[in-house]
Amino acid sequence: MGTASSLVSPGDVIEDAYGGEAGEACEIPVEVKPKARLLRSSFRRGPRVIGASFKSTGSVDLEYAADYERLRKEYDIFRVSKNNEITSMQKKEAKLDEENKRLRAELQALQKTYQKILREKESALEAKYQAMERAATFEHDRDKVKRQFKIFRETKEKEIQDLLRAKRDLEAKLQQLQAQGIQVYDPEDSDSDDNRTAVTATGTHCEYWSGGVLGSEPSMGSMMQLQQTFRGPEFAHSLIDVEGPFANVSRDDWDAAVVSLLQVSPHVSQALWSNTVRCYLISTQETKAELEVFIQRYSPMLRKLCEGLGHFYLNVSFPEESAASYALERKQEIERGSVFVLLLKSTITSSVAEDAEEAFVKNPDGRPLVLYLRTVEGHPLSGPTRQLLEKINAADKAAKVKVVDHGGSPEEGAAMIYSQMEKVIKQELLGVEGGDGDSKDSGIEDGGEEDSGDVLWDLHDEQEQLEAYQQACSTASQPGLHKYIDRLNDMVTAPPPTPPLLVSGGPGSGKSLLLSKWIELQQKNSPNTLFLYHFVGRPLSTSSEPVLIIKRFTVKLLQHFWSLSGLSMEPSKILEEFPRWLERLSARHQGNIIVIIDSIDQIQHTERHMKWLIDPLPVNVRVVVSVNVETCPQAWRLWPTLHLDPLSPKEVRSVINAECLAMDLKLTKDQEKKLERHCRSASTCNALYVTLLARMITSSNWAWSVEKTLEQCLLCQDTMSLYRLALHMTLDSLGTDRERHVMTQMLCVVCASHNGVSETEVLDLFPELRPPALSSLLYRLHRLAVVALGCGLVRFQHLQAGEAVRLEFLNGGGCSSSAYREKLCHYFNQQLSEDRVTWRVADELPWLLQQQEAKTKLQLSLLNLFVSQNLYKRGHFSELLAYWQYVGKDKSTMAAEYFDSLKQYEKSCEGEEGMSRLASLYETLGRFLKDLGLPSQAVAPLQRSLEIRETALDPDHPSVAHSLHQLAAVYVQWRKYGNAEQLYKQALEISENAYGPEHASVARELEALAMLYQKQNRYEQAEKLRKRSVRIRQKTARQKGHMYGFSLLRRRALQLEELTLGKDTADCAKTLNELGVLYYLQNNLEAAKVFLSRSLEMRQRVLGADHPDCAQSLNNLASLHSERKEYEAAEDMYERALDIRKRALSPDHPSLAYTLKHLAMLYKRRGKLEKAVPLYELALEIREKSFGPKHPSVATALVNLAVLYCQLKKHGEALPLYERALRVYEDSLGRSHPRVGETLKNLAVLSYEEGDFEKAAELYKRAMEIKEAEPSLVCGNAPSRHSSSGGDTFSLRGPAPVPNPPR
């Protein structure tokens, strides 16, 4: 063997260019035997010496002769054997010389390879530096172009201004000529068409995105349009694809399911998405005792239950004697109510009958109902009471009213009502069936973050955005909005690259309303588009935190692809990594992504935190932001802009007339003219100003006459002054000074708070205020657009409303916000002293103390371990860090103080519950320190958490798995992968034993292990674990629902069920079909089958057996049977549906292709490949006619048909189909798209089976290069919900890697 000393000196570091770790060069020990030399043996000289001795002495004794002869013979034998050994060793020497030469040759080859790799590395580094230089040059050129464009734009704007001035001069001259009596030629009066100018309507189709509405008929020249058509049955996740309003909605995608729900039911009651459990209590004088006991004794318990689950609880009741004066308020509260409780004995009044009939008999939204009936001997039911009960019984066809029939004491009756209410809240409202309702001290459930893996985020932030969007959508559209929607469509569909689109306008011009209506319209017309929207509230509120906004967007993107790990908690990294996440995930999303941020200029340091907006966007991503004209950053004014103009006189009249009509008020001609003359300036024809003006006039009966209100309003020349007048008007409408004082105080408290105050908190802060009076006050303020309820909190509807309150009652009234902040601090500190740490305390108290500049008190509140835990577990990491930075503590000091607080708290912990809470605090501290970048300090609290749980609970308790998981994450951060793997495996074993193999906790451990294997380059193991994790998460989502989607779907199912109890009609059959689909989405397949069967039977009776709607029902039922593995029934129904559609629809109709595809899939699944071939061929033909021969959807059909031919061993027919599909994919999607890689892999397998090993190896190598170049989502490649693993797109599984051809 040779030596490596000539290549690398010992101790030098060799870099492994293949990704391995660096090693140290060492000498290779090589043994080389010296040339053998034959030495004369002493035995050969021996005889001669002896012989000489004999000859010289001549006295040889004869007795030695025999010994001599014997020795000579032994010597000869020994000599021969040694000669043989020498010959054998010479042969071995020759063989070793040959081996040595071979190894030297290999060593020289390795040396050449190493030198080549070094040269490649140097060239790669040089290329990298050149790319960096080119990037710097590009950046310089881009800045130069931007400056040139700015100069060009300013020049053109100046020219436009000059043209406008010239136009005005010409118009003035024209008016002068007309005034002098000179007749001016008007082209409209001409009979000739030559003078007419053709006007092109907006919304015409463009080359890239479809015009008018996104997602309409595709345009073949566009990549964006190609991707829009991807969402469809062939890429659906689930085994079942249903038709109707929920077509292509997967149970794995609850956001899409909720969107489809809102399309079917555009008006969703506020009770469905409100964060407050509003209990509307209807009682009589006879049941007043039960009502008082329930409110005083049991309401606090229900409030604690709801607060522990992150909701508010509020009792709403109107005293029977004064209910008539609150007619409008009662109607509004019934509309907003979550659950209704009716307490009856024998008699009722008219107000009780009205409320009961509205809530119990009409009840359009199917909300929970509880009827308490106190039966006492000798007190029979009166006639009106009996009639009311009969109406309720007749309306309760589904037997959903919970009846409490009681004849005992009021205390026992109140307890029974509480028992029913607890069940209703847990099971029907909050969806914690069978869960423990006791609130946690921390205000967070232990497993609250489980479904999101290691990513912590706040569901209240999501709820806030959902409510903001729903409230805007439920608002009536203002006149002229459609023209802006058309223009917005045209701007969004412009060919890429497209910078962010700017929607600008003055305060209150309707930007939020426009964006909400546009999103609603696009969600209906473009189900393939992913919308990420955020409505920014007032400055300094949680909704204006840039880190939380970007984190929410990132989490929504990751949820969309079933991967939630790998998201950094560090604020700077969240902002920095979002563009990369957007680029990676947009490449995987088979459709468009639109990011909408409303009022982006309300974010502090917008330009610094939103730098990603100025970078080029991915080709299928659009960004739309709205700004105030005055506060728009200068650099953004170059973007394409849609400016909202003031309302025209016609639109002003329309708004005022609509408000007057709604309130049944008729203005005189003179009043209308006054309003028309007044609303002509830019500030008085603003949309918000006109709406507020109309509402003040229609609400004038509260305090002033219409004439006085109109006179006062006409003195206000801007929105701010009009708001201040509205506040005065509301104050005058209140009856007593105490009510006026309470209103002033309440508005000042809202103004001083961080995010607003809840109704329950208002009642606590102002004990003299009763619920009816609060309801009336909020109704008036909401009517005048001053306040609104959002996420259960009273907030200002517009920034101008808050500013008007500040000017009128705070600065202008001689008071300051400081006193009201102090009042709120005292209130929340009182809750802390009672060990009630809810999300509201954690949100408000630290912020209030920071605004008060009370650093010492702020530090004490942060050292309340449950406050910090609440903020951290809800994902407000950046906010918590900012508080500590404001206090002036560095990371190490912060960690030490938390440790000291925990040690003090540990001394007071007793019992299993206390120790469990302590372990949770230690775990939170460890995670917090890990996210701070202090892994060495994070180990101690995590180990302590593990010790406590193993000691206080059980070594196999699921909580132990939590501690093991977090401790392993620290070891991963330390790169101690062996320790981390062992801990992860222990956590996985505990979770599987505790929950079973298909629980979300198991998915979390699998995903963590997959990430670990990915870091260790063990890609195959990582991929297997990741796929299993994704399957578990998808199944869990089907069972539990996602966010608030499951509750919405269940409510909608109840509403639809009420509608199906009438006569047989086509609409009723359609509703039954919707209901079956909804039950499918809830994973209730039995109920889905019942309703889909009823829909089919009713359609056959009403429409006839050959109607296309019957084919829809058959198709849905066949899909359901297919999922239940009832293949014979599924096949029969698919064939019947196909027969109907062939006769009723055109040959290229999408519904026909849909049925063809699924029937072919079923044939293939059942092994009937010959029957599947003509169906796939027909499906291919339909797609070619519909989309053209070069559409990706056609390529998918080609691949499916080719795979089928391969299964039939018709390789010759499969090969051209694969090759054609490959060309289509490469031309339409690019040569590095994942679908190209899949097709290459299929071609490689086919070539291998045909015996063309070299071609197979080449194709497989290229397929692997595409896969490796694919952007990795944390661990491996996260599956798109449209990926080819679902639906009818599949690939042949061949040997991997392709083996070398035999020699």
> Parallel, antiparallel, or unpaired: how do β-strands 339-344 and 530-535 relate?
unpaired
Give the closest residue to 399 by CA, choosing from 964, 1300, 1057: 1057
Contacts of 707 (CB under 8 A, 6+ apart): 671
User: What's the token pair of residue 342?
Assistant: 């009716």
Helix/strand/coil (H, E, C) string of 658-682? HHHHHCCCCCCHHHHHHHHHHCCCC
Asked if the bond preceding 1297 is cis, omega within 30° of 0, the reply is yes
- Give per-residue pLDDT as tens, 185-198: 343 333 333 333 33
Contact 761, 824 (CB under 8 A): no
Q: Which residue has the higher pLDDT, 767 or 11?
A: 767
Q: CB-based contacts of 410: which residues, under 8 Å, 6+ apart? A: 287, 289, 290, 293
Q: For residue 830, which amino acid is it?
A: Q
DSSP 39-92: PPPHHHHHHHHHHHHHHHH----THHHHHHHHHHHHHHHHHHHHHHHHHHHHHH
45 pLDDT more than 50: no
1228-1239 pLDDT, tens per residue? 877 878 888 888
Phi-psi bin for 814: left (phi > 0), alpha (psi -120 to 50), beta? Answer: left
In contact, 207 and 221? CB cutoff 8 Å: yes
DSSP helix/strand/coil, 528: coil
DSSP state of 531: E
**Phi and psi for 547 in degrees, rounded to 5?**
-65, -40
* Torsions phi, psi for 609 (to 5 deg): -85, -20
Q: Please give the share of the chain, as a percent, with pLDDT higher than 70.
A: 78
Tell if the pTM clears 0.85, that is, is over it: no
Q: What φ, ψ does residue 553 adopt, rounded to 5°? A: -60, -45
Residue environment code for 506-541, b if the CB has 16+ CB neighbours within 10 A, otherwise e: bbbbbbbbbbbbbbbbbbebbbbbbbbbbbbbbeeb
Q: Give CA 563 to chain center in angstroms.
A: 10
Q: What is the pLDDT of residue 267?
A: 42
Predicted confidence at residue 805, as pLDDT, reads 92
Most confident of 82-91, 672-681, 1175-1184, 1210-1219: 82-91
pLDDT above 60 for 9: no
Higher pLDDT, 210 or 911: 911
Tell me which H or E stretch contains 1034: helix 1019-1040
- What's the angle, vertex CA 803, arms to CA 802 and CA 809, rounded to 5? 85
pLDDT of residue 89: 93
For residue 1099, what are its two tokens?
A: 């359609």
> Is the per-residue pLDDT at 912 higher than 50?
yes
Q: What is the CA radius of gyration of the chain?
A: 40
Q: For 1063-1074, how does the pLDDT look when each residue is reduced to its tens digit (9 = 90+)? A: 677 878 887 887
Q: Decide: 924 and 440 in contact? Cβ < 8 Å.
A: no
Per-residue pLDDT band at 608 (split at 50, 70, 90): confident
**Count helices and strands in the chain by DSSP H and E runs:** 49, 15
Q: Select from 1289, 1215, 1227, 1225 the least CA-distant residue to 1263.
A: 1225
pLDDT at 1261 over 90: no
Q: Convert the pLDDT of each residue in 1018-1066 to its tens digit.
A: 888 888 888 888 778 766 655 544 434 455 555 555 555 555 555 677 8
pLDDT band at 759 (very low <50, low <70, confident <90, very high): very high
pLDDT at residue 908, rounded to an integer: 85
pLDDT category at 1153 given cuts 50, 70, 90 is confident
Whole-number Å distance between alpha carbons of 1025 and 1276: 10
Hey, how many other C-beta atoms are within 10 angstroms of the C-beta on 1233? 17
pLDDT on residue 1060: 59
DSSP class of 297:
I
Mean pLDDT of 826-854: 89
What pLDDT does 52 receive?
43
Residue 41 has pLDDT above 50, yes or no: no
- Considering only 111-115, 597-601, 703-707, 841-845, which range has the smallest mean pLDDT? 703-707
The CA–CA distances, whole Å, from 249 to 187, 240, 340, 634, 886 equal 55, 10, 33, 43, 47
Residue 263 — very low, low, confident or very high, per pLDDT cuts 50/70/90? very low
Residue 711 has pLDDT above 80, yes or no: yes
Mean pLDDT of all residues in 769-788? 91
pLDDT at 1059: 56
Decide: 552 and 534 in contact? Cβ < 8 Å.
yes
Look at residues 769, 920, 761, 918 and name the one whose alpha carbon lies nearest to residue 848: 761
Which pLDDT value is given to residue 301?
A: 92
Largest CA distance in the chain: 174
| Sign of the dihedral through C-alpha 8, 14, 16, 22 | positive
Residue range 514-567, pLDDT digits in tens: 999 898 888 777 767 888 899 998 888 888 888 888 888 888 887 766 555 566
> How confident is the model at residue 858, as a pLDDT?
92
Categorise residue 1017: left if φ over 0, alpha if ψ from -120 to 50, beta otherwise.
left
Least confident of 17-26, 114-123, 469-478, 646-655: 17-26
Digit-coded pLDDT (tens) for 927-939: 888 888 888 888 8
Q: Please check the confidence at residue 682 and state whether its pLDDT lies above 80.
A: yes
pLDDT band at residue 1299 using 50, 70 and 90 as cut-offs: very low
Categorize the per-residue pLDDT at 177 as very low, low, confident or very high, splitting at 50, 70 and 90.
low
Mean pLDDT within 369-373: 90
pLDDT exceeds 60 at position 349: yes
Position with higher pLDDT, 156 vs 628: 628
Residue 1173's pLDDT is 87
Q: Which helix (H) or strand (E) holds 403?
A: strand 401-406
User: Which pLDDT score, from 0 to 100, does residue 777 have?
Assistant: 92
- Per mean pLDDT, which of 47-61, 409-423, 572-586, 949-963 is the most reliable? 409-423
> Looking at residue 752, what is its pLDDT?
92
Mean pLDDT of 1260-1286: 55
1154: Cβ contacts below 8 Å, ≥ 6 apart: 233, 241, 243, 1115
Measured between alpha carbons, how far is 1205 from 1201 in angstroms, rounded to an integer? 6
Concatenating the DSSP letter of every residue in 240-281 gives ----STTTT--TT-HHHHHHHHHHH-S---HHHH-SEEEEEE
Q: What is the pLDDT of residue 37?
A: 43
Q: How far is CA 215 from the centre of its chain?
A: 21
* Other CB atoms within 10 A of residue 248 CB: 21
What is the mean pLDDT of the segment spanning 608-622? 83
What is the reported pLDDT for 873?
A: 85
pLDDT more than 90, % of the chain? 16
| Cβ proximity of 365 and 331 under 8 Å | no
Between 211 and 982, whose confidence is greater? Answer: 982
Mean per-residue pLDDT of the chain: 77
State residue 764's pLDDT score.
92
The answer, yes or no, to whether residue 33 has pLDDT greater than 50, is: no
Higher pLDDT, 897 or 1274: 897
Q: What value does the mean pLDDT take over residues 561-575? A: 68
Average pLDDT of span 636-650: 88
- For residue 297, the Cα-to-chain-centroid distance in whole angstroms is 40
Q: Residue 753 pLDDT more than 90?
A: yes
Confidence at residue 731, expressed as pLDDT on a 0 to 100 scale:
92
Instruction: Please spell the DSSP secondary structure of 809-847, one letter per residue.
Output: IIITTT--HHHHHHHHHHHHHHHHHTT---HHHHHHHHH
